[in-house]
Homo-oligomer: A and B are copies of this chain.
């Protein structure tokens, strides 16, 4: 862990003292409070606020972005919160020139516009809309042959190599999907491409999935997906101010030195604009899994299509407005329970982020009502409406960097939400919070089926889950919560500072294709998503109950045995991956030696025999295995101690309670590594990180796992030591917490 953080916590622990009330009494009060809370939540507020907040485009730097922040802040104030707006100044490029044309075999110029639809009232706000573009693309003016690279992830380039296709000096066209979008230009650049076009294939979110807008919810012919391509797996937040807050006078990197800005021009397009490009590609027919839903044969290129891509941006510094609203804790004011959802959008953003934002607002309003009626949360409750999430988690990251020391000392947990929809609870987060989330999900009713959210999710897992999920659901085990990668504002909290985090939301029954387009509108949301805001209410209840629980609990509700189970599983996965890689590499090498690739291949398809792999050594996992064993035993010891303590009816002094809770809070902090992950020191969490080559997708035990995946065996062994040491700190901390409960 970070030594500075530990000392600070230690000091806080020393200065407080108080005897906590009994658990039974506490529980009863809490149930009453939750009932009062639920009675407050009113879906019509959500609808009214969504209509207002999404009535105009409200991206970073737009007038409506600021207006929304001011509205939200004033609302919080009216509900009894101490509310303020914190401003930061971030690099936010917007397009000056966007040109994509094909010069050969025929001339074609991409339209790059999403049409106004009479069925969509806000689609005509053309002057206020950001055009379709990828933020943090490089400026560029390139003309080159085009190559289709499927999703554009590293594996795809291995397959291209088997066809003898190199993208060096070429422009690549990738389809959306298969990874976070920013991975596509990054990997293209690594392979020598000079430009990248990303298009929305109807297979992913268009007519292949369902009727296109405005008939249905899915992406139409000319719909395109805006989005950031900043390299957030290196750090999130303003590209010019890593590690520090983007205050007015902050010391900034120059744009050319900012490592998270893409090095080649990147442009997102609709499939209407992609069709002429793809259709004219020569070269081999794309392998089956690469084919989308457009009505022609997908070829890989290159050879026939020559494309000209010219992009220029206004590289402006823009203000962003985070709304921060607090209710002071009555007993532990220096323990903060933090809740957040962003408010900025790419365009009107009714779903992303307003659907989540309005649920959080109604949750906050209802909590405000409880406080007005006399409830005094023991801990400080902090609601945050972030700006600048879309370009790269700017608002949350800068705020976290600005308040790093205070947050390290005080943050108990961070609970995030984002776009919300109709369907099933989706919950990710720190594994110590798994039991907590399960408990909350048993308290909230699913609005469609009149069973609990927990029961409905279990039904889904029973019918449609993976074999492991089915088995677990049959055995009535608690559901798993996914470890967190990135893609929303939990990242700086969890992965930069080591604050236990949750990400919650509903969805799965409202799939569509309005994401990051002008059609993510109030009209679209009302027709195709959570039309009556009943899942907005459910989210407010899940979030509200979580906030009430944590802010009022005697002991922070972590269950470390869930964490130890998860870590053991992650370790075993990596060990199994290593074994599989070893077997595959040796089988593959043997087949190359035996000319099997040559013999099996079709001479008319020009497939190249792959290169031989280096052999996969046996790694020494023993240090990690021992560390995990100690985590398991300390987690069990804590669980027994807690049970024993509850049964005994004993109480702890306020001083001991505070000491205990800070140890609990600290259990996530100690999982961070001061030096951070290899080549990305901003990411300090040893257990969870966004994948360097997946973007949003999580890598657990990332230092080890990515070293293995990259075949960097030396680094894998180094990282085994690093992670083991973080886990040992965890075990020591949890063992100490157990001792307090046992009165030792």
Q: Given the known inter-chain contacts A456-B599, A459-B596, A459-B600, please indicate yes or no for A210 contacting B297, CB distance below 8 A.
A: yes
Choose one: B295, B464, B603; the contact of A600 (CB below 8 Å): B464
- Complex Cα distance, B463 from A10, in Å, reads 60
**B297 and A459 within 8 A (CB):** no
**A291 and B208 within 8 A (CB):** yes
- Which A459-503 residues have C-beta < 8 A from chain B? 459-460, 462-464, 474
Q: Is A3 in contact with chain B by the CB < 8 A criterion? A: no
8 contacts between A and B (CB under 8 A): A202-B295, A210-B297, A459-B595, A459-B598, A462-B596, A462-B600, A463-B600, A509-B604
**CB neighbours of A209 from chain B (8 A):** 285, 297
**CB neighbours of A600 from chain B (8 A):** 456, 459-460, 462-464
Q: A207-B297, A449-B598 are in contact. List 10 more A-B contacts (CB 8 A).
A: A207-B295, A216-B297, A293-B293, A293-B295, A456-B600, A459-B596, A460-B599, A460-B600, A462-B600, A463-B591
Query: C-beta contact mask, A184-209 vs B, less than 8 Å → 1, else 0?
Result: 00000000000000000010000111
When all copies of this chain in the complex are counted, the total is 2
**A599 and B423 within 8 A (CB):** no
- Complex Cα distance, B451 from A25, in Å, reads 82
Choose one: B210, B456, B459, B604; the contact of A285 (CB below 8 Å): B210
**A285 and B211 within 8 A (CB):** yes
Closest to A461 in B: B600
- Complex Cα distance, B603 from A485, in Å, reads 31
Q: Given the known inter-chain contacts A462-B591, A604-B509, please indicate yes or no for A207 contacting B599, CB distance below 8 A.
A: no
**CB neighbours of A462 from chain B (8 A):** 591, 596, 600
A-B complex: 9 closest residue pairs judged by Cβ atoms: A459-B599, A459-B600, A295-B295, A459-B596, A509-B602, A460-B600, A463-B600, A207-B297, A211-B297
Q: Is A212 in contact with chain B by the CB < 8 A criterion? A: yes
Q: Given the known inter-chain contacts A295-B294, A297-B207, A297-B211, please indicate yes or no for A451 contacting B509, CB distance below 8 A.
A: no
Q: Is A448 in contact with chain B by the CB < 8 A criterion? A: yes
- Complex Cα distance, B448 from A462, in Å, reads 50
Q: Is A70 in contact with chain B by the CB < 8 A criterion? A: no
**CB neighbours of A295 from chain B (8 A):** 202, 207, 293-295
**CB neighbours of A451 from chain B (8 A):** 599
- Which A590-621 residues have C-beta < 8 A from chain B? 591, 595-600, 602-604
**B297 and A208 within 8 A (CB):** yes
